[in-house]
Amino acid sequence: MISGAGLKLGKRRKVLFSISFALIVGLASRFYSIQIINYDSYLNKSAKNSVRKIIKTAPRGIIYDRNLIPIVDNRPTYSLSLVPYDVTEEFNYSLFEKITNLPELAIKSKIESAKKRFSKFKPFSLKRHVDFKERSKIEENKLEFPGVNFSEFPARTYPNEARLTHVLGYLRTVTDEALRKADSELNYQYGDVFGFSGLERIYEKKLRGNDGVEFRLVDIYGIDHGKYVTDREYDIEMGKPLILSIDSRLQIKAESLLLDKKGSVICMNPQNGEVLAFVSSPDYDLKSFIGPIPNKLWDEWNQNSEKPLMNRGIQGTYPPGSIIKLISAGYALDNNIIDANWSVICDGAYSYGDRMFHCWNIAGHGHVDMMQSIKYSCNIFYYQLIQKIGFQNWSNIVSEFGFGKKTGIDIPGEKRGIVPNKKYMNDKYTSRGWGKGSLLNFVIGQGDMLVTPQQVIQIMNLISTSGNSFEPHFIKGVHSNPLNVSLKNSTWEFLKNATSIVVNDDDGTGKNAKSIFGKVAGKTGTAQNPHGEDHSWFSGYITLPNNKIMSLAVIIENGGKGSKAGASTAGELFDEFAKLNK
Amino acid sequence: MNWILTKIVSRSPIIKVNYRIVFPIIILCILSLILLNSTSTESIFIESTFSRQLLWLAMGVFVFIGSQFLRIQFFNEYAYHFYVILIIGILGTYFMPIKGGSQRWLFFGPISIQPSEMGKVLIVFVLAKLLSDQRENFNHLRILLITILLAGIPALMVFNQPDLGTAIIYLAITYPMLYWAGIRPYYLFIVVAPAISVLAAFNIIAFYLWMLLLIVLFIYSQPKVFEGVILFVLNVGCGLLTPYIWSNILYEHQRNRILTFLDPLRDPQGAGYQIIQSMTAIGSGGFWGAGLGHGTQTHLRYLPVRDTDFIISVSGEELGLFSIILILSSYIFFIYWMLVYAEKIRNNFSSLVMIGFVSILFVHLLVNMGMTVGLFPVTGLPAPFISYGGSFLLTCILMIGLINNIINNEI
């Protein structure tokens, strides 16, 4: 080899080897730095690249009636998406628009732009809550729609004929931060569905399941490559079922009776507070949408003058009418203010101060004792009785029966109603703006006093159980708080007799509520309505031969006298209850 | 005909396998098959990269055996002829259709030939011939310029195809070969000096220090005064012109392209994308790797061109640093013995061919592996014996065959 001016060959070899070795070591140290020193950060990066967290929506708990007939169930709904890469020239946009109502041009441009990106293999969502029918239509023409995909998630379905609209409530979607953070325990995410009203809301924690989390390997194009096994994964946990105290058959009957009417019906078991049927009419149709309630629909209902969103059973406040007289009568007896033989003469009108107060029967009832005052619902008797009781005592005892406060029922939005007392009247009218005459109105259930049907039914719950009832609730088998009013047994017996006579005597006001299957007791009421026909009240209870008791409150708005619409509706429900509980 | 055969074929070749040379190569080939078996996803076995690589290797065995019968001095005698054919071949590619964004191939019906690939071997022959033909006291500067010209012309031509990687190889082999041939390191230095001047020109202090160092070196090396002054002025000129060209002649996008080429990570969505994915793959491998078939970067296609350019990344991800050390150890073992044999060989031409070949293989490896860890720009140079690809593999095996032949017959 040429020696030249350079180094000897052996030296050159050593120099070349040293350089090579240095380069190799340099390269190795670079790999060492990446693979050993920065291992964790690259591993993390690699996982971020390829592991996608998939949330699997847990179905909400099923809601059953007391006989385990499902009232609210789940069904799959579908989310429609397109994989841009698979959308070819043959895609029939116009047919697609016809089926889905998605505008052709918008979809076209979306797909064209997506095709140019890396994400062209990744399905993008076009429409959520596609129902089975729409899906079928698309599937039938599948060849016309290359690239179409469906994914499934659960939505509510209502398989039962019983609507139970206001009790069940509806769902909404978590759309803002406040909602998301509303309950840390529930750990809401954007887009989650949650119970917004009714039982769906109150029992949210029970009904809402735990969403499953699955990790999937996704390649650079977004194509799924199966499960990524990790201990951070957990399975779907379906929401727990809710077994209601509602009897769907009774509910169906009650709903049919209120069809095309405005008003409310509540049926309960006074012995444990279970609600057996609960209707508020008019209602809205939970079946008319899939998934969470659409805002547009909600607005429409909200603006409807019939107020279908209002739950009349707990939010409708009406004057109680004559039903409230029972409390004054009971109080007066119990406290020996009068005895059962104390009587008045009713000639159809009563003069107090400078005002005339009338009985509903202008002809007058003649000689009226307490029993008759209830049977005929005579006003004159109470105009005189209340003067012996006094305002404060009347307010107190009425409140003790649960008026003017929430009943504690397990659906949200309950109204308190109003039980007037001196303070209330002074605040509203100033101390000189009202006179004792107002009291004469209150005692017959007119004027400022306002009650909900749910409060009214409690009178009957208490009478039928001699003052030992329970707060209302919708869940079968749970014990709610007791509702107690302590009156003498003789007083309860008197009230039971009186209400029984109202229904069972041929000239009683509540005779339309009679049932051949059991012993019915009750009281009618007429809530004066300055805007139109009066509202028709009836509240009562039936005792079957097998000692089962069902209490009930009915109000039919603009139904006229309680003895008509209210009582006859009650009669049909008593019959139905008796048939169902033979 | 017979005359040609006697020129090409050796009369009585010694045929045996030198395991010091072949053993590390076999390790690399086996590793390649293991990695390709992991990345092969084709449902039909025959179409998989694994089975094709296996087929190429089988052909490689024949190439290796065949190369044992060649007369090495034939390449010495006809080196310039080969060189001319190479130049014509590369010129020919300019008249061929563009494929994959570059014109590298000559198409003869269904057969396509990439002249620049064989060019790597042929340039080694021509340089070895040029350098081995020199007598003592040759004119170093003249030889330096001729060498650079001989390698530079085809390098420029392939650079224009464009094929930067091959151009780098052509130029990179000149250095070790010149050094082995005995050129004074000073002359090697002055070739790179202007390039350093260009880089130093971006920082005024660095530039002054560099100029100072140049003056010291020139005085120390004692070249002819005229030569020294010319070289110094050339370097100063390069340094002074650079900022001007950079800011006044180059456009913004050209400046960006150069910066991105030098540092791909500054463009993570574009040029740096592949390298980031590659580094992620390698880094996530750790020491033992994720296991064959378990590399998510590899198998979920986050890693680009994983069978060829980025096969090292697959190795890093699935077999970890362990496999990287195995590869590098195989190479250093191979280089060590190549240098030992190159020293022993009496024939200057053959000795220089050995150095040329080992340089080709090593530069490929350095550039390829450096690329996967962000040390070098993406140039498309494969990792010898590891990357998938037939013609390059056969070229490399031919070199190993010739090396084996030289060791057997010329020591």
d(CA B284, CA B299): 13
Taking alpha carbons only, the member of B319, B276, B277 closest to residue B297 is B277
Question: How many CB atoms sit inside 10 A of residue B46's CB?
Answer: 8
Q: What average pLDDT score do residues A237-251 get?
A: 93
Taking alpha carbons only, the member of A305, A440, A426, A467 closest to residue A380 is A440
Q: What average pLDDT score do residues B134-159 get?
A: 88
Question: How many CB atoms sit inside 10 A of residue B272's CB?
Answer: 19
- Output the domain CATH number for residue A491: 3.40.710.10
Average pLDDT over chain B, rounded to whole?
88
Contact between chains at A6 and B179 (C-beta distance less than 8 A): yes
Q: Are the CB atoms for B63 and B401 separated by under 8 Å?
A: yes
With a cut of 70, say whether residue B379 has pLDDT above it.
yes
With a cut of 50, say whether residue B10 has pLDDT above it.
yes
With contacts defined as CB-CB under 8 Å, which chain B residues touch A15?
A: 179
| pLDDT one-digit tens code per residue, A118-164 | 566 677 778 877 888 888 888 888 888 888 888 778 888 899 999 99
Question: How many CB atoms sit inside 10 A of residue A220's CB?
Answer: 16
Q: Give B245 to chain A, closest Cα distance, Å.
A: 33
Output the CA–CA distances (angstroms, integers) from residue B407 to A162, A527, A580, B21, B345, in the order listed: 96, 118, 106, 10, 8
d(CA A259, CA A256): 5
Look at chain A and count its residues: 582
Domain annotation covers residue B213: no
- What ranges in A39-182 are assigned the alpha helix state H? 39-50, 93-100, 104-115, 132-140, 165-168, 177-180
Domain annotation covers residue B351: yes
| pLDDT one-digit tens code per residue, A305-358 | 888 999 999 999 999 999 999 999 999 999 999 888 889 999 888 988 888 888
Facing residue for B321 by CB, picked from A24, A36, A218: A36
DSSP labels for A149-212?
EEEEEEEEE--SS---HHHH--EEE--SHHHHTS-TTT---TT-EEE-SHHHHHTHHHH--BPE
Facing residue for A28 by CB, picked from B283, B328, B335: B328
Output the CA–CA distances (angstroms, integers) from residue B200 to A24, A491, B262, in the order listed: 26, 111, 15
Angle subtended at Cα A557 by Cα A551 and Cα A560, rounded to the nearest 5 degrees: 95
Domain annotation covers residue A303: no
Q: Extract the tokens encoding A244.
A: 């209601």
Place of tokens 């008791």: A549
CA-nearest residue to A5 within chain B is B184
Residue type (1 letter), B389:
G
Q: What ipTM was estimated for this complex?
A: 0.92
pLDDT greater at residue A37 or residue B40: A37
Q: A496 φ, ψ to 5°?
A: -60, -45
What b-and-e string marks burial along A304-323, b requiring 16 or more CB atoms within 10 Å of the CB?
A: eeebbbbbbbbbbbbbbbbb
With contacts defined as CB-CB under 8 Å, which chain A residues touch B328?
A: 24, 27-28
Q: What is the tally of helices (H) and strands (E) in chain B?
A: 19, 2
Sign of the four-CA dihedral B93, B94, B100, B104? positive
| pLDDT one-digit tens code per residue, B162-184 | 888 899 999 999 999 999 998 88
With a cut of 90, say whether residue A85 has pLDDT above it.
no
d(CA A432, CA A228): 79
Range of the domain at B387: 13-69+274-411
Strand (E) or helix (H) holding B297:
helix B296-299
d(CA B128, CA B354): 9
Cα A243 to its chain centre, rounded Å, is 14
| pLDDT one-digit tens code per residue, A442-484 | 999 988 999 999 999 999 999 999 999 999 999 998 888 999 9
Range of the domain at A485: 248-293+313-580
Q: Give B325 to chain A, closest Cα distance, Å.
A: 7
Contact between chains at A39 and B328 (C-beta distance less than 8 A): no
Is the bond into B377 cis (omega within 30 degrees of 0)?
no
Best of A7, A16, A43, A218 to disrupt the B interface (most B CBs within 10 Å) is A16
d(CA B286, CA A51): 19
d(CA B296, CA A219): 8
DSSP labels for A360-396?
SSTT--EEEEHHHHHHTT-HHHHHHHHHHH-HHHHHH
Residue type (1 letter), B107:
F
With a cut of 50, say whether residue A5 has pLDDT above it.
no
Residue type (1 letter), A562:
G
| pLDDT one-digit tens code per residue, A272-302 | 999 999 999 899 888 887 777 788 888 888 8
With a cut of 50, say whether residue A105 has pLDDT above it.
yes
Domain annotation covers residue A392: yes
Burial of A192 (0-12, 13-18, 19+ CB in 10 A): buried
Which of the four pLDDT bands, split at 50, 70 and 90, describes residue A185? confident
Q: Per DSSP, what are the bridge partners of residue A75?
A: A155
Q: What is the pLDDT of residue A91?
A: 85
Q: Extract the tokens encoding A443.
A: 């005692």
Taking alpha carbons only, the member of A457, A463, A461, A440 closest to residue A333 is A463
Taking alpha carbons only, the member of A441, A437, A446 closest to residue A562 is A446
Contact between chains at A36 and B279 (C-beta distance less than 8 A): no
Crossing angle of helices B164-172/B140-159, nearest 10°? 170
**Pairing of β A63-64 and β A242-243:** parallel
Domain annotation covers residue B319: yes
Facing residue for A217 by CB, picked from B179, B296, B362: B296
End-to-end Cα spacing for chain B: 30
A10 touches chain B (CB under 8 A): yes
Q: Are the CB atoms for B214 and B232 separated by under 8 Å?
A: yes
d(CA B162, CA B172): 17
Domain annotation covers residue B159: no
Domain annotation covers residue A214: no
Crossing angle of helices B164-172/B174-181, nearest 10°? 10
Cα B80 to its chain centre, rounded Å, is 21
Q: What is the pLDDT of residue A4?
A: 44
Q: What is the pLDDT of residue A6?
A: 45
Q: Are the CB atoms for A224 and A217 separated by under 8 Å?
A: yes
Q: DSSP assignment, residue A33?
A: I
Average pLDDT over chain A, rounded to whole?
88
Domain annotation covers residue B116: no
Domain annotation covers residue A228: no
Flag whether the pTM goes above 0.95. Answer: no
Q: What is the pLDDT of residue B43?
A: 66
pLDDT greater at residue A97 or residue B170: B170
Output the CA–CA distances (angstroms, integers) from residue A416 to A254, A401, A454, A455, in the order listed: 24, 13, 10, 9
- What ranges in A259-390 are assigned the alpha helix state H? 295-303, 312-315, 325-334, 370-375, 379-389
Q: Are the CB atoms for B120 and B395 separated by under 8 Å?
A: yes
Strand (E) or helix (H) holding A456:
helix A453-464
Q: DSSP assignment, residue B100?
A: T
With a cut of 50, say whether residue B39 has pLDDT above it.
yes
Domain total of chain A: 1
End-to-end Cα spacing for chain A: 120
Domain annotation covers residue B341: yes
Q: Give B228 to chain A, closest Cα distance, Å.
A: 18
d(CA B29, CA A570): 92
Facing residue for A34 by CB, picked from B140, B283, B302: B283
Q: A192 φ, ψ to 5°?
A: -70, 155
With contacts defined as CB-CB under 8 Å, which chain A residues touch B341?
A: none
Contact between chains at B136 and A3 (C-beta distance less than 8 A): yes
Q: Extract the tokens encoding A576.
A: 């139905």
Which of the four pLDDT bands, split at 50, 70 and 90, describes residue B46? confident
Residue type (1 letter), A404:
G
Residue type (1 letter), A344:
V
Q: Give A24 to chain B, closest Cα distance, Å.
A: 6
Look at chain B and count its residues: 411
Domain annotation covers residue B231: no
Q: Give A210 to chain B, closest Cα distance, Å.
A: 29
Q: What is the pLDDT of residue B182?
A: 87
With contacts defined as CB-CB under 8 Å, which chain B residues touch A29?
A: none
